[in-house]
Amino acid sequence: MPELLPRARSSQESIFARMSRLAVQYGAINLGQGFPSAAPPAFLLEAARRAVGTADQYAPPAGLPALRDALGADLGVDGADLVVTTGATEALGLLAQALYGPGDEVLMFEPVFDIYLPQARLAGATPVTVPLRLEGEGSWSLDLDDLRAAVTPRTRALLLNSPHNPTGRIFTREELEALVALARQHDLWLISDEVYDELYFGERPLSLRTLAPERTFTVGSAGKRLEATGWRVGWVACPPGFAGNLAGLRQVASFCAPTPFQAAVAAALPIARETGFYGGLREAYVARLDLLAGGLRELGATVFRPSGTYFLMACRPGWEAETLVKRAGVAMIPAEAFAANEAPPPGLLRLAFCKSQAELEEALVRLARWEKAGG
């Protein structure tokens, strides 16, 4: 019998899929995988109902023209520089295939969103991580000298995620300017994963593209913005002149993203902007963040407050994700899932607060019960 290649055999069930599966199996509140428990907004669902039956055949591989136009207007980029993808995950995988290959090194920050590592390796490249370090409550610091020291003659690209999953950190203007200076000095590509661009709790994050439009590929996600993570509509905003080749490459993978969902997102994007939908979302999430962070602190956990995303990291020595999902009835993601070279402190976990208030309250009740029973 022939055998699967090692790259296929080494792919395991993702921590997100695993925790969601265990949450169902053990009847746990799922604060693990980041998906909202509320339904997407009515204006999006109505647009989808209209689209099914009228926009059912293949879209052009670069995306439905209506969606590229709507996105262009929303992001302030030329629609011709956009490529619509089957979720941001495909967008990131596509960029890995397009921008680096065997012998290349790709810089990324640790804690690192789990798929960045295998996507780089599948492209034949070597991921090189630069640590974000914990500095007491609330802050993850970046030492730019660590970043500069990580650049070698083989470095090809720098992959950034801001707001950052899992830490919720937003990179400052000064940091982004330093990254751009480094990229220009060493002629690196910049890949900016900005799927949480509308989920911030202070100042609006700066898009890296505005500082280096000639070399930045920006990744975005309708699933994150419009609370429909299963729709799989993502995009890449390319530097001028690159969208055509990228669309050519993406058609080899899945040809096009699902057409009715593209049509629905195209209709929904201007409505979301005009009705202040994102502002409402932020308000709702800050309230839930406060609820969860306050409850966790009362239980003795150290909370690292995010500046964006719908995740927070908390540390309670003795808490262990596998035990908690099975015995306390609360699913979370262990920090080890985001580790590449640095061992996270024991008891460090990521919790999603894009869940209902009732679910968050019940999770806190269960954790209090668990603590009371001696863990």
Q: CA-CA distance, 217 to 240, in Å (whole number)?
A: 10
Given the complex with ligand GLN, which of 34 and 79 has the nearer CB atom?
34
Pick 23 or 180: Cβ nearer ligand GLN: 23
In the complex, minimum distance from the CB of residue 14 to ligand GLN, in angstroms, rounded to a whole number: 6
* CB nearer to ligand GLN: pick between 165 and 259: 165
Asked if 33 touches ligand GLN (CB under 6 A), the answer is: yes
- Asked if residue 34 binds ligand GLN (CB under 6 A), the reply is yes
Helix and strand totals (H; E) in the chain? 14, 14
Q: Closer to ligand GLN by CB, 16 or 26: give it.
A: 16
Lookup result for tokens 């208030």? 357
Q: Which is nearer to ligand GLN, 34 or 308 (CB)?
A: 34
Scored b (16 or more CB within 10 A) or e, 56-95 reads: eeebebbbbebbbbbbbeebebebebbbbbbbbbbbbbbb
- Residues 272-291 vs ligand GLN: string with x where CB under 6 A? --------------------
Nearest to 61 by CA among 239, 216, 262, 267: 262
Question: Of the two residues 59 and 352, which places its CB atom closer to ligand GLN in the complex?
Answer: 352
State the nearest-atom distance from the C-beta of 17 to ligand GLN, in Å: 6
Q: What are 274's strand-pairing partners?
A: none
Per-residue binder mask for ligand GLN (CB under 6 A), 226-255, x = binder: ------------------------------
| Count, residues near ligand GLN per rule CB under 6 A | 6
Q: Are 163 and 179 in contact (CB under 8 A)?
A: no
Decide whether 16 or 43 has the Cβ nearer to ligand GLN: 16
207 touching ligand GLN, by CB under 6 A: no
Whether residue 32 contacts residue 20, with contact meaning beta carbons closer than 8 Å, is answered with: yes
Contact between 16 and ligand GLN per CB under 6 A: yes
Residue with tokens 């500069």: 148
What is the torsion angle, in degrees rounded to the nearest 10, for the CA atoms of residue 222, residue 340, residue 105 and residue 146? 100
Whether the CB-CB separation of 62 and 235 falls below 8 Å is answered with no
Residue 118 beta carbon to ligand GLN: minimum distance, rounded to whole angstroms: 12
Please report how close the Cβ of residue 166 comes to ligand GLN at its closest, in angstroms: 7
Cα–Cα nearest to 285, from 33, 34, 23: 34
Residue 308 interacting with ligand GLN (CB under 6 A): no
Nearest-CB residue for ligand GLN:
34
Residue 86 is a binding residue for ligand GLN (CB under 6 A): no
Name which of residues 140 to 169 contact ligand GLN (CB under 6 A). 165
Rounded Cα gap, residues 303 and 312, in angstroms:
7
CB 282 within 8 A of CB 201: yes
Nearer Cβ to ligand GLN (188/332): 332
Whether cis (ω within 30° of 0) applies to the bond prior to 111 is yes
The 46-85 site mask, x for binding ligand GLN (CB under 6 A), equals: ----------------------------------------
**Axis crossing angle, helix 65-75 with helix 259-274, rounded to the nearest 10:** 30
Q: Which residues bind ligand GLN (CB under 6 A)?
A: 14, 16, 33-34, 89, 165
